[in-house]
Amino acid sequence: MNGFDALTYMDATSLARLVRQKEVTPLELVDFFIDRIEKINPRLNAVVTPMFEEARRIASGPLPDGPFKGVPMLLKDLLASYKGARFTFGTKNLAQYIPDHDSELVRRYKEAGFIILGKTNVPELGLLPTTESALFGPCRNPWDLTRTTGGSSGGSAAAVAAGLIPVAHGNDGGGSIRIPASCCGVFGLKPSRGRNTLGPDFGDLMSGLVAEHVLTRSVRDSAAILDVTAGYMPGDPYCAPPPRQPYQEEVGRDPGHLRIAYLTSTMREGINLHPDCLAALEVGVKLLISLGHEVEEIKPNLPAELIARAFTTVWAAGCAATVKGISLITRKEPAPEQYEPLTWALYEMGLKVSGADYLMAVGILQRMTREMALLYAQYDVLLTPTLGEPPVKLGTFDSPPEDPLKGWTRSAQFVPFTPIFNATGQPAMSVPLYWNAEGLPIGLHFVARYGDEATLFKLAAQLERAQPWTNRRPPSAD
């Protein structure tokens, strides 16, 4: 396959074109990316469940004539089930669990022509912004093997960044697409609440915090894939308003003169932004101004501590519900030896949340959502650094039994912005526009009005043209 080396960093759109033009076969693509995974993955630990023989079998037969016919991809080992493939949620309790059906999202990927090569590494139950589970071990950042990939879609982001795959599935309950996109220097968009279905297994997760999509190298891939996955599934509790036109048609369109607000503060006492993140923000602001946008710093007066407590209440209750759901599958009562210390501590915290506490927390988040919506009467987009710090060292979020919530507490410094927009349900994206002096990527985080992914795709494509990132190669990918 040496003659195919140019395929390594092509995006999914380009690869699909090669298949349509019969310049490469689906089986050749599958074999090429399997070779990449076998060569590079031992350094990264991004792919934890290979599905290579299944992929070769599918690539050798008739495929749906979708827009991504024959293009390989990876699935995050959380939420999206694939019939007959191990599905662990990153916990040893489900290490041998095999689902008997595809999730609707996976069905839509298959219908679009994608071929799944395997499952990617996740933290236990997707709870932390790093990918270091006891079940699979740490996923390593291809820009620096001692650093986190972020989480919980860390395996997916690392695989895309290192050229193991052109696109990988992710999901986002507190930043889990955008955090690893920032850490690994790839593009990651969290769609609006209800844009992609969670069915048939879930109608709603944690009162709407969770959204599904992908991590990609190019903006156009993210847009085109959302076109083939978006839409209501019968029984869904809600759905996002339909787009005016396909998202892939927004890529390349002039975003016009946008009014963009930006934040230089986390709004939380004692939690400050790292100088490298502020430097990235400054570069982003200057770039936006050069592109003709109106950019203004703002200092919103949101009750940040109250919001953080409300989010933690919903998150802990969601952890408890997930642990109880797993016990229905395993037919074992939950016990502390079955889980990592942090997971068990959040589970116990969640058990103490009363119905009144939960509804009060949801009400606080909904009120904050309305206050945030008022901001968009004045501005089209909000800009922040994606993270409060560059990718931190592996082990930073370790939670020993004597201090089981240490990792959760530490994460407040790392992810000061992303969870807010899971609560509001707004579309948000991390765009890889800056690398620091150590060669580590730092994403910039853009948030639009609810239902307005179109503005984000237009802006992202403009930024991609003005300051391309796809020619950057992590040192651990060769």
**pLDDT tens, position by position, 264-295:** 999 999 999 999 999 999 999 999 999 999 99
Q: Is 176 a catalytic residue?
A: yes
**pLDDT tens, position by position, 69-83:** 999 999 999 999 999
Active-site annotation holder among 156, 176, 411, 430: 176
Q: Is 393 a catalytic residue?
A: no
| Sequence letter at residue 478 | D
Q: Is 299 a catalytic residue?
A: no
72-76 and 115-120: which strand pairing?
parallel
Report the pLDDT averaged over residues 245-265.
98
259-262 and 294-297: which strand pairing?
parallel
- Size of the chain in residues: 478
Strand runs labelled E in 303-414 = 381-385
Active-site annotation holder among 152, 156, 182, 218: 152
Tokens of 93: 């309790």
Q: pTM of the predicted model, to two decimals? A: 0.98
What's the pLDDT at 137? 98
Asked if residue 427 lies in contact with residue 216, where contact means CB atoms within 8 angstroms, the answer is: no
Domain map of the chain by residue range?
2-477
Q: Is residue 248 predicted with pLDDT exceeding 80?
A: yes
Provide φ and ψ at 85, rounded to 5°: -110, 140
**pLDDT tens, position by position, 176-209:** 999 999 999 999 999 999 999 999 999 999 999 9
Per the prediction, the chain carries an average pLDDT of 97
Asked if residue 439 lies in contact with residue 432, where contact means CB atoms within 8 angstroms, the answer is: no
**pLDDT tens, position by position, 8-67:** 999 999 999 999 999 999 999 999 999 999 999 999 999 999 999 999 999 999 999 999
For residue 5, what pLDDT band results from cuts at 50, 70 and 90? confident
Classify 2-477 by CATH class.
Answer: alpha beta
Instruction: Please state whether 163 falls in left (phi above 0), alpha (psi between -120 and 50) or beta.
Output: left
Contacts for 260 with CB less than 8 Å, ≥ 6 apart: 288, 293, 294, 295, 296, 379, 380, 381, 382, 383
Percentage with pLDDT > 90 across the chain: 98
Judged by DSSP in three states, 47 sits in: strand
| Sequence letter at residue 23 | E
What's the pLDDT at 1? 41
**pLDDT tens, position by position, 341-391:** 999 999 999 999 999 999 999 999 999 999 999 999 999 999 999 999 999
For residue 3, what pLDDT band results from cuts at 50, 70 and 90? low
